[in-house]
Amino acid sequence: MFGNENSNNSFHDRTNKMTAKQKILDLALETFLREGFYKTTMDELAAKLRVSKKTIYKNFATKEDLLKEVTRHFLKNNHDAVKQSVKIESNAVEKLSDITKTIGNIVTRVSDKMISDLHNYSPELWKEIDEFRTKMMIKTFSKIIQQGKAEGYIRNINSQVMIIAFISSLRGVANPEFVISNKITISEALETTISIFLNGILTDKGMKIFSKLNNNGAKK
């Protein structure tokens, strides 16, 4: 499927190996997000890819290595998507709306099973995810909040307090222990947290724009 794996001295072989690794990453990502990683075996992944298990182990020494690389690949792609939302030429409220939708789309891809597996079997990886999203949120929301204040759409509250309050709220509800113990989805937890946050920081003028954006989105 991926070409001649025995030859190492041609451009085509190198390209095939890169393609093989990417296909493994893509399939593992979708499988882990949907079914979790703990009970997913390398044999199952190999069968879905129609390659030998040896092919997977040529690219990833262990399932743990595969999980880590899949997670970092997922985080990078999502970070890039959020960065694109910040770069759009629009006001701060539109950027906030776009980012919340982007984050919502990302979160809905992660099953409760995956969240449970992270909580039970890979807490150190969850810590890495948490640190990554915290840094991303601080950088992203700092820029938008400053823009929103200048436009009159965000209230004149201490920016650092706003950002830390939001991140603390996210960390409190969008984590494995909370969603499992309260029997809600991480998507529901995120949506409620963002709604409360925006209602607290937007001015009346900002809320009018946000409500209009949401209504237009609902009509579509």
Q: How far is CA 4 from CA 15, 16, 89, 219, in A?
A: 11, 8, 47, 52
Mean pLDDT of 85-112: 85
Mean pLDDT of 56-82: 93
- For the stretch 34-45, pLDDT in tens is 999 999 999 999
Residue 17, pLDDT above cutoff 60: no
Residues 43 and 92 in one domain: no
Residues 19 and 85 in one domain: no
Residue 12, pLDDT above cutoff 50: no
Residues 135 and 30 in one domain: no
5 belongs to a structural domain: no
4 belongs to a structural domain: no
Mean pLDDT of 93-110: 84
Residue indicated by tokens 């809600």: 184
Q: Which of 32, 117, 116 is nearest to 71 (CA)?
A: 32
How many structural domains is the chain composed of? 2
47 belongs to a structural domain: yes
Residues 118 and 42 in one domain: no
161 belongs to a structural domain: yes
**Domain residues for 39?**
11-59
- Say what the pLDDT of residue 3 is: 42
- For the stretch 143-182, pLDDT in tens is 899 999 999 999 999 999 999 998 888 778 777 778 778 8
**For all residues of the chain together, what is the average pLDDT?**
84
Asked if 126 and 118 touch (Cβ cutoff 8 Å), the reply is yes
- Say what the pLDDT of residue 2 is: 38
Residue 84, pLDDT above cutoff 80: yes
Q: What CATH number has the domain bearing residue 34?
A: 1.10.10.60
Question: Which three-class secondary structure state does DSSP give residue 61?
Answer: coil
Residues 136 and 29 in one domain: no
Please give the single-letter amino acid code of residue 181: S
